[in-house]
Amino acid sequence: MKTPALSLRGVLFDLDGTLLDTHEAILVSMRHATREVLGAALPDDVLMRKVGQPLEAQMVDFTDDVEKQKELLDVYRAYNHRVHDELVQAFPGTREMLEALRGAGMRLGVVTSKRHWLASHGLELFGLDGFFSVLIGSDDFPEHKPAPGPVLHGCRQLGVDPESCLYVGDSPFDIQAGNGAGCPTAAALWGMFPRSVLARENPTFLCTTRSDVVSIADL
């Protein structure tokens, strides 16, 4: 992990694959939607390669038919909502990480490509919502990751300059957005994308564990 000197005042997190382990819920929902609408599930690597962007952007890769894209979205959401609470888990050590960061005086927020209400529900499900003063969902801002706009908006809402706000995420789109916003970035290697994919985006830090994120706040 690189160790540049920082003076952090805030930390923004992605949600899926960073704070919450949603891999299984997303994958089974993608398989279900493509089977129902297209007649066959696509390869898992195709289904998951754009996770981290809004669902609308992901469905475009599966078919050129605009109506089927809309149907995929509806079928995915209906199924995902049914299985969400059963299949989603908080990553071990997430609460301890957030407690340590809050104890170090960090302002905390979430910037996710998930819709606000479902992101809020996921945080509440594991009692994590109280750690965050800011939650930016895909329906809260017109731009979406990998564009930097949502991260910059999160920084403004936290009241922290981008250079003093770490953005933590597990997808290349997270790192692209954070880097574009001028934030130091931390790639969460416990998420849905391999180290090689994340390292190509030149994150400021490569974090293997939640405690690595806490260590950054001490730099």
Q: Catalytic residues, which ones?
A: 14
- CA–chain centroid gap for 53, Å, is 9
Instruction: Give the position of tokens 């129902």.
Output: 36
> Do 114 and 15 meet the contact criterion of CB atoms below 8 Å apart?
yes
Identity at 150, one-letter amino acid code: P
Q: How many CA atoms lie within 13 A of 149 on its CB side?
A: 11
- In sequence order, what are the residues at sequence separation of 6 or more whose Cβ sits closer than 8 angstroms to the Cβ of residue 173? 50, 52, 53, 113, 145, 146
**Cα 114 to Cα 164: distance, rounded to the nearest angstrom:** 25
In 83-200, which ranges are E strands? 89-90, 107-111, 134-136, 165-169, 185-188
Asked whether 158 and 10 are in contact (CB, 8 A), the reply is yes
d(CA 188, CA 24) in angstroms, rounded, equals: 17
β-pair type (165-169, 10-13): parallel
